[in-house]
Chains A and B, each alone.
Chain A
Amino acid sequence: MRALVNPTFVMRWSTRAVPWLGGLTLLLVAAGLYLALIASPPDYQQGDSVRIMYVHVPAAWMALFCYTCMAAASAAGLVWRSPIADLAAQATAPVGAAFTFIALVTGSLWGKPMWGTWWVWDARLTSVLILQFLYFGFIALSHAFDDPARGQRAAAVLALVGFVNVPIIKFSVDWWSTLHQPASVVRLDGPSIHPSMLAPLLVMAIAFTCYYVWLLLVRLQSEILNGKIRALRLRQAHG
């Protein structure tokens, strides 16, 4: 545990992993986009509009996954006062916010031709919009204090409080009547999506996950280096 949160250790193995993760991400995105946009069949009801789903659904999953990671890292930062955990939460927030934004925009683009509206205030859409604001709030709050440690602590509390929204988003379509359709993949009686469409969806989901881990490591590295530079400058100023 000690070793895992040691900045030097993190630097060493992430430097080795970053190029591989970057290459893997590129490969998977290329394969996923080919499968999703060209090789997979159109839907029997939606026609080619179904292809929006291959970006929308993985982005929405990542929005929830990133938030969960951010909340977990925030909890670790609060409890164990681990600087690496705080940095990981800080590094995750903009990535999760971007995935949420992509999910909202692609969902809206799909909603207009399929539902007949860009936006409705149903439980699923509204709770995802709240998730977007939680991400923005986290980013704003962590920069709101002169002392970065105080800002990070305040933001970490917000991340934990906002975590109640994650299960609400997931189960909103089961608990309340919504315009948004219920889950097609993660459900008790197996996926209700044809294997020829499930495969590209899963490839895209793995690609997005690799992309997140890759970005997280790159951002962690630069934050660790930033911290070292700050420490050196401080020492120079005092020396």
Chain B
Amino acid sequence: MKPKHRRLTFVIIGVALLAGAAALVLSASRESLVFFQTPSEIVAKAPAPDRRLRIGGLVEEGSVDRAAGGTVRFRVTDGAATVPVSYVGILPDLFREGRGVVAEGRLEHGVFVADQVLAKHDENYMPPEAAESLKRSGYWQHMQDQIKGSKTGSAPAAGSGGQ
């Protein structure tokens, strides 16, 4: 074996071993690598009220209620489960009904009390006119259902597509 070939074998085996080790470590620490948990996961686990966590999902259509004193209440859904959230503070620009949201806080008596609410933008980019024509053609509802159903398989179509 020429030294050149020996070095090549070394590099290939080294990189392969490293990739394997990285894959093992990453799949073992999945719990701590996720940024948020879905409403289904939170309902299933029912975490203790002293545990800080993040919940992510879609803001349910028609659930946003801005009470006096600056408290905002809304429900976060993934199509299978729904968790009510309450929050005092300023909401980000992209916070919309039917859109993605990530809230950080604690689950107290079935209500998620958030101290930070972030908007989660989806991967769709289009000009307003294109969005309008999608809504007119009825494709919009299909897309919304896809977003909702992406995790849960089938999802009920809640409300109408537009705002």
Q: Which residues of A are at the interface with B, using a C-beta cutoff of 8 A?
A: 41-46, 50, 53, 75, 78-80, 113-117, 120-123, 160-161, 163-164, 168, 175-179, 181-184, 187, 192-194, 196-197
Contact = CB atoms under 8 A, between A and B. Distances in A.
A222 to B, nearest CB: 28
A81 to B, nearest CB: 8
Contacts, number: 117
Contacts of A175: 26, 33
Interface stretch (B3-11, B44-52, B63-71, B153-161): B3-11
Interface in B104-163: 116-131
Contact of A177 (B11, B56, B128, B130): B56
A100 B33 CA distance: 22
A181 B18 CA distance: 28
Nearest to A112: B92
A193 B119 contact: no
Given A79-B4, A79-B11, A116-B92, A181 B128 contact: no
B34 A50 contact: no
Nearest to A161: B18
A197 B93 contact: no
B43 interface: no
A43 B127 CA distance: 5
B102 interface: yes
B129 A183 contact: no
B19 A164 contact: yes
B15 A160 contact: yes
B130 A194 contact: yes
Given A75-B11, A164-B18, A176-B33, A115 B120 contact: yes
A197 to B, nearest CB: 5
A192 B18 contact: no
B11 A116 contact: no
Interface in B1-46: 4, 7-8, 11, 14-15, 18-19, 22, 26, 30, 33-38
B135 to A, nearest CB: 10
A177 B125 contact: no
A79 B13 CA distance: 13
Interface string B57-92: 000000000000000000000000000000000111
Nearest to B129: A41
A41 B128 contact: yes
A45 B22 contact: no
A163 B129 CA distance: 42
